[in-house]
Amino acid sequence: MPTRKKIDGPHVALHSQISGIVAEWLIEMKDAGYVNNYTDAVNQGVVLLYEKFKTLASVEGKQSS
């Protein structure tokens, strides 16, 4: 029986189905070679979203000073 790789640090398991236009985008990105798999696409999307939030928080912090 295969063993699972031990994960150090924080871990979140997501089990989801995506449909509609977002599913079409994922299929297009995979077919074009932008992502290796759908998990890769979701991970890249979360990273970009996080960076956007950090940028917005930084801008808002500078405006309120």
Torsion sign over Cα 54, 56, 57, 59 = positive
Prediction pTM value: 0.69
Predicted confidence (pLDDT) per residue in 20-46, tens digit: 999 999 999 999 999 999 999 999 999
Q: How many residues does the structure list for the chain?
A: 65
SS3 content of the chain, % helix, strand, coil (to 5): 60, 0, 40
